[in-house]
Amino acid sequence: MKKREVTALVVATTLISAILAGCAGAPEPVNPWAAEFEQAMEQAESDYTRSILADGVIDPSEIRDALSSTQACLDQAQVPATVNMDEHFHVSFRTEASTTVVQDQTMATCQSQWMDPVFALYARIQINPDNQDMNGLVAACLVRHDLAPDGFTAHDWEELWDSYTIPTDSETIIPDESGRSRSTLTTHNPEAFLPGGVSITDPRVSRCRTTPLR
């Protein structure tokens, strides 16, 4: 075979390989929240919430529909409560009057049927789309907004937060197999300050905690 023919064959083979690679397309991006979606699917108690989680994506339209369905559930049971979601994606039930034990149980049932665990996962994704280390994001936010000095790290923030939330043992009246269960509650340390003197309770610090990417 002549040299010119060999060169032409190599070029043709390269072109074919490039075309085939283009047809194959780029690999699909990995969902950074895949493990959390899988866990949420296991925790979901209704077909409705499982259907939202099944594709690994939670759309705002699905959140609106779930809020509407939860409210309809409350209204049908004549529970005097309104379900709300704030700007930080936290959900609460606002009651217009005192509720009975049965009505409280109904609110819990409506929430598990139409909301849990979808809303908690949705909030986490909106705050941290790439599922990065939250302590690192908060620390970087504090530095970026001059609330903490350069070099303030995720570990520094974690230690400070641990010093602010002090665990305290407290017995509950909820019986278990032994007749009494124990739970761990937390109290807050008012003396928790960032290096430089900014209090951990400062609203600017709270904003970094809730929206660290701002």
Cα-only R_g, the chain: 26
> pTM for the full model?
0.75
Residue 2 has pLDDT above 90, yes or no: no
Task: Using DSSP, state whether 171 is helix, strand or coil.
Answer: strand
Tokens of 207: 């904003």
What is the reported pLDDT for 25?
Answer: 59
Task: Using DSSP, state whether 126 is helix, strand or coil.
Answer: helix
When comparing pLDDT for 55 and 183, which is higher? Answer: 55
What is the reported pLDDT for 180?
Answer: 34
- b/e map of 149-176 (b: 16 or more CB within 10 Å)? eeebebebbbebeeebeeeeeeeeeeee
**C-alpha atoms less than 13 angstroms from C-alpha of 114 in its C-beta half-sphere:** 21
The strand pair at 182-188 and 81-85 is best described as unpaired
**How many residues are listed for the chain in this entry?**
214
- b/e map of 2-41 (b: 16 or more CB within 10 Å)? eeeeeeeeeeeeeeeeeeeeeeeeeeeeeeebeebbeebe
Least confident piece of the model among 93-97, 191-195, 201-205: 93-97
What is the reported pLDDT for 213?
Answer: 94
Evaluate the CA torsion angle 197, 201, 204, 206 in order and state its sign.
positive
18-57 pLDDT per residue, tens: 444 455 556 778 899 999 999 999 999 999 999 999 999 9
